[in-house]
Amino acid sequence: MSSLRWPSLRLRPRTDPLQDWVGVVCWLLSRSVMTYVFVVQTSFVRADVLYYFTSIDHTSMTSPDDLAHALVEYPVPVVWIMQMLRAVSGPSKDVYVFLFALCLAVLDALCSWMLWTRVSRLSSLLWMAFIFLIGPLAWFRIDLIPAVCVLIALRELERRPRIAGAAIALGAATKLWPALLIVPMLGLPILCSRQGEGPGLPGNRAGLPGLPGNRAGLPGLPGNRAGLPGLPGNRAGLRRGAGFLAFGLAAGLSSLVTEGLTRSASPLTWQSGRGLQVESIWATPVMLARLGQSGDQWEVRLSRYNAYEIFGPHVEALTGLASAAMVALIALVAVLGWLIVLGGVGLPRHSLRMAGAERRRRDRTLAITLSTLAIVAGVIVANKTFSPQYMIWLAGPFAVLIATQLRSKDRHHAAVMLVLGLVAAALTQLEFPLNYAALVRPHDPGIGVTLILAIRNGLMVVLAVYSSVLAVRAAWRVGRQPAPMAAEPLVPALVAEAQSGALSPAETVRA
């Protein structure tokens, strides 16, 4: 892990062997296949969009009472988006579904183009591949919006940090969970020298006292002539926090003023009341046990939360484990924030000042991106619900991180995460929508699709743990002081000898 390097995100040169038309062809071919799969086999994935239409069909944007019971599982800004789309589509359900899918397909295309022209060809191809493996479901779920917000935040992490923070806030306004991602992205106003180091002593560029007979003193580093404090060491982190706070407060206050506290908090209360969804990581043991049951020991049915949940022995205990896992995830987020933002202050050889140093920018960027992937994977794994569209959340950090790491000296970790992510995405489409009916049958559940589900969930656990370990290791290095050079202890000794007269003036100058 120590050899990981973070290549800078920059505009690709015109000499790139992959011409622009290659990207257009890849997008058109992959999306044509997705459209074919939707039309021929999986047109029922439009059911959620029809549910959106039905829920807001008789609501008005000017009447807060209309939204009290409309799409209460979603934050209020999502309902506003659905209402605007309803105003354009008119009373036709088919037109509404078409416009919904068209908007998300255009968003998908814009992300592919942005990555192709502004980040790298490889990152764009990875985005295309990941969405393709998830299938047409990506165009019929609101989850593509927070995924794009996370992608924009990673793209603008250092270039336009305020936009990065606002993008995270917009994602949180649609799905709540992206709010966790802002923690490792924050910064503190740390005063440091122009080189990002500690203050020196006046009268010497290195802040080191000179030896007698050597008026210039020891040669030092430029830019810290008097050890004067410089600008904040992590200005980008401060700006990301400002952007998140400004947009988040605007969205939150708008929701609170127009809809009230009960409706604004309804997504949290809705989520807390849900049971164990059949596709969740924690339901895997009982879903496998269900294959060999002789009676009706475990029951799978559609709950009032519009999801298939499993009921029976050990389900309550597994739900409790999911809650404990969510607490562990929050603890992981706190640790990553402590190591990246605070530099692991309190640990040996760690300092807040070093975490804000300019020379640690690449280390911070790598740690933040790894943390983003780890947190997103952790949210999916720790949750007692695991709808297949949750996999879309991984597309942004997956494309940016894997592409940059595959171009670095250490490709091993990137290759492992590449295989885990792509295989998990492909198995998700095999499970839903292609074979979902067999999974949730009341009797005689499908063995093949249940095993596919178990393998996919196992891969997600490995990805979450693997990326979390890498994230903690990268975060550990952000605030860690470099090891002192072996020659450094000689400097105080030479000063002491010169001041005591043990060295002649000539020997002092040579030293």
- Whether residue 307 is found in the same domain as residue 447: yes
- Whether 405 is covered by a domain: the verdict is yes
- Whether residue 260 is found in the same domain as residue 349: no
According to the model, what pLDDT value does residue 93 have? Answer: 95
Alpha carbon distance 32, 38 (integer Å):
10
Which of the pair, 406 or 163, is modelled with greater confidence? 163
- Whether residue 453 is found in the same domain as residue 332: yes
- Whether 8 is covered by a domain: the verdict is no
According to the model, what pLDDT value does residue 314 have? Answer: 95
Per-residue pLDDT, averaged over 387-408, amounts to 91
Query: How do beta strands 308-311 and 299-302 pair?
Result: antiparallel
- Whether 249 is covered by a domain: the verdict is yes
- Whether 431 is covered by a domain: the verdict is yes
Q: Which residue stretches of 430-446 are H helix?
A: 436-439
Residue 350 has what DSSP assignment?
A: B
Residues whose CB is less than 8 angstroms from the CB of residue 321 and which lie 6 or more positions away in sequence, other chains included: 282
Looking at every residue in the chain, the average pLDDT score rounds to 85
Residues whose CB is less than 8 angstroms from the CB of residue 212 and which lie 6 or more positions away in sequence, other chains included: 498, 499, 505, 508
- Whether residue 35 is found in the same domain as residue 167: no
According to the model, what pLDDT value does residue 9 have? Answer: 46
- Whether residue 51 is found in the same domain as residue 162: no
- Whether residue 250 is found in the same domain as residue 391: no
According to the model, what pLDDT value does residue 133 have? Answer: 98
pLDDT at 444 over 60: yes
pLDDT at 200 over 90: no
Burial string for 196-218 (b: 16+ CB within 10 Å, else e) reads bbebbeeebbbbbebbeeeeebb
Looking at the DSSP bridge assignments, the partners of residue 299 are: 311
Name which of 68-72, 320-324, 488-492 the model is least confident about: 488-492
According to the model, what pLDDT value does residue 216 have? Answer: 44
- Whether residue 133 is found in the same domain as residue 183: no
- Whether residue 113 is found in the same domain as residue 154: no
- Whether 210 is covered by a domain: the verdict is no
Kindly state the tokens that stand for 370.
């790894």
pLDDT at 450 over 90: yes
According to the model, what pLDDT value does residue 67 have? Answer: 76
Alpha carbon distance 42, 53 (integer Å):
19
According to the model, what pLDDT value does residue 496 have? Answer: 55
SS3 label, residue 94 = helix
Percent of the chain with pLDDT over 90: 70
Cis-peptide into 209, omega within 30 deg:
no
Residues whose CB is less than 8 angstroms from the CB of residue 313 and which lie 6 or more positions away in sequence, other chains included: 286, 297, 298
Q: What is the pTM for the complete model shown? A: 0.85
SS3 label, residue 480 = strand
- Whether residue 354 is found in the same domain as residue 330: yes
Kindly state the tokens that stand for 433.
């929508």
Q: Using CB atoms within 10 Å of the CB of residue 482, give its burial: 0 to 12 exposed, 13 to 18 middle, 19+ buried.
A: exposed
Alpha carbon distance 442, 430 (integer Å):
20
- Whether residue 315 is found in the same domain as residue 396: yes
- Whether 419 is covered by a domain: the verdict is yes
Alpha carbon distance 285, 281 (integer Å):
9
- Whether residue 406 is found in the same domain as residue 439: yes
According to the model, what pLDDT value does residue 472 have? Answer: 97
Q: How confident is the model at residue 305 (pLDDT cuts 50, 70, 90)?
A: very high
Residue pLDDT, tens place only, 107-121: 999 999 999 999 999
SS3 label, residue 308 = strand
Alpha carbon distance 433, 47 (integer Å):
12
Type of residue found at 142: I
- Whether residue 311 is found in the same domain as residue 234: no
Residue pLDDT, tens place only, 19-44: 889 999 999 999 999 999 999 999 99
SS3 label, residue 376 = helix
Which of the pair, 249 or 500, is modelled with greater confidence? 249
Residue pLDDT, tens place only, 454-509: 999 999 999 999 999 999 999 999 999 887 765 445 455 545 555 555 545 444 44
Name which of 2-11, 139-148, 149-158, 373-382 the model is least confident about: 2-11
Alpha carbon distance 169, 184 (integer Å):
14
According to the model, what pLDDT value does residue 215 have? Answer: 43
pLDDT at 408 over 60: yes
pLDDT at 210 over 60: no
- Whether 398 is covered by a domain: the verdict is yes
Q: Which of 215, 249, 272 is at the close of a domain?
A: 272
Alpha carbon distance 388, 429 (integer Å):
8
pLDDT at 309 over 60: yes
Residue pLDDT, tens place only, 335-394: 999 999 999 999 999 998 888 888 888 999 999 999 999 999 999 999 999 999 999 999
Residue recorded with tokens 């440091």 = 192
pLDDT at 249 over 60: yes
Contact at 8 Å (CB) between 154 and 400? yes
Q: Using CB atoms within 10 Å of the CB of residue 43, give its burial: 0 to 12 exposed, 13 to 18 middle, 19+ buried.
A: middle
- Whether 17 is covered by a domain: the verdict is no
19 phi and psi, to 5 degrees?
Answer: -75, 165
Alpha carbon distance 412, 421 (integer Å):
14
- Greatest Cα pair distance in the chain: 97
Domain count within the chain: 3
**Most confident by average pLDDT, 72-81, 199-208, 478-487:** 72-81
Residue pLDDT, tens place only, 228-246: 343 345 789 999 999 999 9
Residue recorded with tokens 């998300």 = 104
Domain extent, residue 111, equals 24-58+92-140
